[in-house]
A and B are shown apart, each in its own frame.
Chain A
Amino acid sequence: MPECSLRLSVIVKLTMSNGDLHLYLAIFGMAIATYSTRLAGYWLLQGRTIRGRYLAALEAVPPAILTAVIAPTVLMEGPASMLAGAATLVTALLRMPLLVTIAVGVASVAALRQIM
């Protein structure tokens, strides 16, 4: 039997190394995990009427998540990010088109990183 399992493991190794197998399993698992989170919120709430406090909480999701994603980057990555973030915010509040606002952010952070 040990000989047989040895042979089997040689065959497995020839077709796919152990590391590769783990990697493909990981890719598959990660794909399922990510897609599930993208479906979960929709499936939980789809077809329901949300009112009152729950609606207020749901309405707070976009600004709260947007802030949570960018705040650590803008506040803690150093003065260049902070100043570029402020410049971007001013451009956005002036109701400039999205592309212009993004361009201002990218150009100002690139310039500020050069001089700071």
Chain B
Amino acid sequence: MNKDLAQGLRDISPMMIAYAPIALLWGTIAAGQGLSPFQAWLMSAGVYSGAAQFVSMDLIETGMPVLLLVLTIATVSLRHVLMSASVSRHIASIPRARASLLLFWLTDEAWALIERRALERPISAAYFVGVAVPLWPTWFSFCALGAWLGNSLGDTSRFGLDFAFAAMFIAVLAGFWKGTRTALVLVASATVATLAKFYLPGAWYIILGGIAGMLIAIIGYREVDHVER
């Protein structure tokens, strides 16, 4: 097997295990909202975003009109604009059409691992495939299975696997530490995100926290920063 492909697969494998119960949980919620296993599969394979799918189940319950629902889901997914903007620096060598196709599988998890690897070496198409695509069948299979099993599963939070995502992000975050300036970005982002989560509905907190961190980086920027490198 291609070395980069294998490395990507190795990097994402813990998340494949951690995501099975989360997918199952979503499937049971979807079943509760009247989705059939096929519909649950279709949504998880096509939308392929945990955040968007969980929020959409809340919205479907309120009986929101389709257009408004889609717009709300777009705001939930806005963070992907920043993620794909950031990733564009690392995948410049991949042909545009191929990169555009690969970006369909740009989940939070795959993105975080790509950024982590990009700190040390360039990102090949093979690594992107290895790190991003395997989570897809895991996700939609377990979502469909959850919808099929319905509500017989009970609370899965006691296994702590819901924390795997946060733990992985903390692990990746540690690699971005570059001193005091990073600390200011993190404090700004954490403060704004936490306040926004508390006071605003939906998932605005992610994009607002991200923008706060970017603004601090712009304010703290000095010409010498990039000359030094």
Binding site for B on A (CB under 8 A): 19-20, 22-47, 50-53, 55-76, 81, 84-85, 88-89, 91-93, 98-99, 101-111, 113
Contact = CB atoms under 8 A, between A and B. Distances in A.
Interface residues of B, number: 96
Contacts of A20: 39
B167 A67 contact: no
Interface string B167-181: 111111111110000
Interface of B: 11, 13-14, 18, 34-35, 39, 42-43, 46-49, 52, 56, 60, 66-67, 69-71, 73-74, 77-89, 91-92, 96, 99-100, 103-104, 106, 108, 112, 115, 157-161, 163-164, 166-177, 182, 185-186, 188-190, 192-194, 197-198, 205-218, 220-221, 223, 225-226
A99 B103 CA distance: 25
B14 to A, nearest CB: 5
A53 B85 CA distance: 15
Closest 7 CB pairs of A and B: A64-B213, A68-B209, A105-B167, A41-B85, A110-B160, A60-B217, A41-B84
B96 A46 contact: yes
Contacts of B80: 34, 37-38, 40-41
A27 B47 CA distance: 7
A108 B180 CA distance: 29
Interface of B is mostly: helix
B115 to A, nearest CB: 4
B185 A105 contact: no
Contacts of B170: 70, 74, 85, 88-89, 92, 101, 105
Contacts of A52: 221, 223, 226
A88 B171 contact: yes
A81 to B, nearest CB: 7
Contact of B212 (A43, A64, A98): A64
B210 A65 contact: yes
